[in-house]
Amino acid sequence: MNQHNEKNMVIRKMLFVTKFEELGFGALQSLLPLRKSALEHVIFMNVIERDRVAMQRGVGYKKSEERKLREQANIRFIDWAENLFEQGMEVGAYIVVGNLVPQVIDAAEKENADLVVIGRRSRKMMEVFYSGADITELLSRIERPVLVYKNRLDTGSILEKPFKKPLLAIDWSPASMRAVEYLKNLKDVIHKINVVHVASSKELKGTSNFDIQQLRKEKREKLDKICEVFLANGIEAKSHVYVGDTIEEIERAAGERKSTMIVMGSSGKSTWVERWIGSTPRYIAEKSPYPALIIPYGGDH
Amino acid sequence: MGKRVLVVDDDPDVRLFSQTVLEENGYIPVLATNGEEGEEAVKKEKPDLIILDVLMPRESGIRLYRRLKTNKKFKDIPIIMLSGIAEKSFLRSQKVLTEFGGDPVPEPEAYLEKPVDGDILADTIKKVLG
């Protein structure tokens, strides 16, 4: 990210990666409230998988298939772009043939995107459009925030406002503290943030009731300091301490707080602390029914 | 010596098509693949005419158009918009950007929606360049 965007951690430019089936115009529209914050530029991206047009014995490279797929994507993007241009937004588009992850990372870097949005249908759906492996690879290689967009659990329909009520899962890692910086500038979009920390059962073993209460109090006080950051930026925030299995408790908290998405830090680098080393954000992104916004630490930034 | 015409389009097929039409009609084509490259080429090549796409990576033709038409050095270079984006959407976007506090910009010298016939493109270029 450039110096300016990194310093201020705002979402000016969004890379919207779509195969159309899982992320349509409705999903795009649900993210347009980000305009009230700083969003001014949307880049559409469609990656045509190489397998679909690759060389085959007796057929050769399927140039006409590539042309057809490009044209189909182009027609959709033109329709979406007209709508956004008419609202005074800046729009760009990439239609490329290749492997999803390197193409997305390349476009995100070229465009200096502040947010990458990629779709994944909920578990209830028959088809998963981007495989878990693609999403995991993307999250482990990209140094930019990624929103893994998912439709509503109950109806499979589009969430109206995914940023309205996020659940921020905190593990005190540099990446999760960066998530605080990222969210605190979204006061015009976020209605309320629930900030949660999950203490593991291991931390409680062999301790008395007093110790458990003391642990909870300490964690709560630390979370309250984070809530104060949000409150100072005009965002209502509430802290919660849960105890147990990290993934289960995060999902439980999201359900109990009627959260619209789960936000957490992630990093493949050595900045990980405690037990969330890779597996929790990966699970939440890949398998949780909630949309997941994963914020990397940002490498050397 | 033929006049220099800058083509700004991310689609290689459109660049090749435009290049062919321009060369067949005695113009000198200069090619750029997005708004940023296009602006550099305007500064460097000082074209007599620009053929500009709208939807492109890095920077759209809408922003480049505004910058050129509000720059006293470049505002008189005629521009033919050549895009899949409808003309009314282009004009509406310019109106909205002006309402947001930007400088008003004139309409382009011509607007052609893709796909365009080679003869129509050649006639339009001839007409715009006088």
* CATH number for the domain that contains residue B89: 3.40.50.2300
User: Mean pLDDT highest for which of A89-103, A207-221, A270-284?
Assistant: A89-103
CA A44 to chain B, closest CA, distance in angstroms equals 9
Examine the pLDDT at A300 and tell me if it is beyond 50.
no
**What DSSP element (H or E) covers A42?**
strand A41-49
Q: Averaged over A79-98, what is the pLDDT? A: 95
Residues A81, B85: C-beta atoms closer than 8 Å: yes
Examine the pLDDT at B50 and tell me if it is beyond 80.
yes
**Those residues with Cβ within 8 angstroms of residue A89's Cβ, 6 or more apart along the chain or in another chain:** A35, A39, A40, A41, A42
Q: How far apart are CA B78 and CA B62, in angstroms?
A: 15
Ranges of beta strands (E only) in B43-94 are: 49-52, 79-83
Confidence of residue B130 (pLDDT cuts 50, 70, 90): confident
Structural domain for B52, as ranges: 4-129
Cβ B55 vs Cβ A78: under 8 Å: yes
Instruction: Give chain B's domain count.
Output: 1
The count of CB pairs under 8 A between chains A and B is 53
Residues B59, A92: C-beta atoms closer than 8 Å: yes
Q: Which two tokens stand for residue A261?
A: 């998405």
Q: Does A230 touch chain B (CB under 8 A)?
A: no
Residues A90, B60: C-beta atoms closer than 8 Å: yes
A41 to chain B: closest CA residue: B59
Examine the pLDDT at A207 and tell me if it is beyond 90.
no
Q: Which of A235, A217, A214 is nearest to A168 (CA)?
A: A235
**Those residues with Cβ within 8 angstroms of residue B95's Cβ, 6 or more apart along the chain or in another chain:** none
Which has more pLDDT, A63 or B38? B38
Nearest to A85 among B57, B93, B99 (CB): B93
Regarding an ipTM greater than 0.90, the answer is yes
Which of B16, B93, B98 should we substitute to test contact with A (largest number of A Cβ atoms within 10 Å)? Answer: B93
Q: What is the pLDDT of residues A213-234, one digit of tens each?
A: 888 899 999 999 999 999 999 9
Examine the pLDDT at A186 and tell me if it is beyond 80.
yes
- Nearest 10 degrees: CA dihedral of A44, A183, A195, A153? -20
Residues A91, B90: C-beta atoms closer than 8 Å: no
Nearest to B55 among A78, A107, A110 (CB): A78
Q: What is the pLDDT of residues A131-178, one digit of tens each?
A: 667 888 888 888 899 999 987 666 666 778 999 999 999 988 888 899
Q: How far apart are CA A71 and CA A93, in angstroms?
A: 13
Cβ A42 vs Cβ A16: under 8 Å: yes
% of chain A surpassing 90 pLDDT: 55
Residues in chain A: 301
> pTM, whole model, 2 decimals?
0.90
Nearest to A85 among B57, B85, B100 (CB): B85
Q: Which of A91, A69, A263 is nearest to B97 (CA)?
A: A91
Nearest to B84 among A74, A90, A92 (CB): A74
According to DSSP, the residues that pair with A242 across neighbouring strands are A198
Tell me how far CA of residue A301 lies from CA of A2, A48, A55, A165, in angstroms: 10, 32, 41, 28
Rounded to 5°, the CA angle A145-A261-A48 comes to 55
Tell me how far CA of residue A260 lies from CA of A169, A192, A208, A226, A273, in angstroms: 13, 10, 36, 20, 26
Q: Please identify among residues 241-260 of chain A the ones whose CB lies closer than 8 Å to any CB of chain B.
A: none
Sole residue written with tokens 């605080």: A180
Q: Averaged over A181-189, what is the pLDDT? A: 95
A74 to chain B: which residues are within 8 Å by CB? 84
B96 to chain A: which residues are within 8 Å by CB? 86-88
**Those residues with Cβ within 8 angstroms of residue A228's Cβ, 6 or more apart along the chain or in another chain:** none
pLDDT of residue B80: 98
% of chain A surpassing 70 pLDDT: 82
Nearest to A92 among B55, B96, B97 (CB): B55
B62 to chain A: which residues are within 8 Å by CB? 85, 90
Least confident range from A165-174, A194-203, B54-63: namely A194-203
According to DSSP, the residues that pair with A295 across neighbouring strands are A265
B60 to chain A: which residues are within 8 Å by CB? 85, 90-92
Q: How far apart are CA B60 and CA B52, in angstroms?
A: 9
Q: Residue A77 in 3-state DSSP? A: helix
Q: Residue B30 in 3-state DSSP? A: strand
pLDDT of residue A188: 95
pLDDT of residue A263: 97
Ranges of beta strands (E only) in A73-191 are: 90-98, 115-119, 146-149, 166-169
Cβ B18 vs Cβ B121: under 8 Å: yes
Examine the pLDDT at A126 and tell me if it is beyond 60.
no
Q: What is the pLDDT of residues B65-121, one digit of tens each?
A: 999 999 999 999 999 999 999 999 999 999 999 998 889 999 999 999 999 999 999
Which amino acid does the sequence have at A289?
P
What does residue A87 show for φ and ψ, rounded to 5 degrees? Answer: -95, 5
Cβ B31 vs Cβ B4: under 8 Å: no
Confidence of residue A3 (pLDDT cuts 50, 70, 90): very low
Q: Residue A277 in 3-state DSSP? A: coil
CA B85 to chain A, closest CA, distance in angstroms equals 6
Q: What is the pLDDT of residues B24-46, one digit of tens each?
A: 999 999 999 999 999 999 999 99
pLDDT of residue A146: 94
Which amino acid does the sequence have at A33?
P
Q: What is the pLDDT of residues A236-277, one digit of tens each?
A: 999 999 988 999 999 999 999 999 999 999 864 444 433 344
pLDDT of residue A99: 92
Which of B9, B34, B37, B55 should we substitute to test contact with A (largest number of A Cβ atoms within 10 Å)? Answer: B55
Instruction: Work out the mean pLDDT of chain A and round it to a whole number.
Output: 85
Which of B54, B59, B89 should we substitute to test contact with A (largest number of A Cβ atoms within 10 Å)? Answer: B89
Q: Which two tokens stand for residue A284?
A: 């939440």
Cβ A221 vs Cβ A170: under 8 Å: no
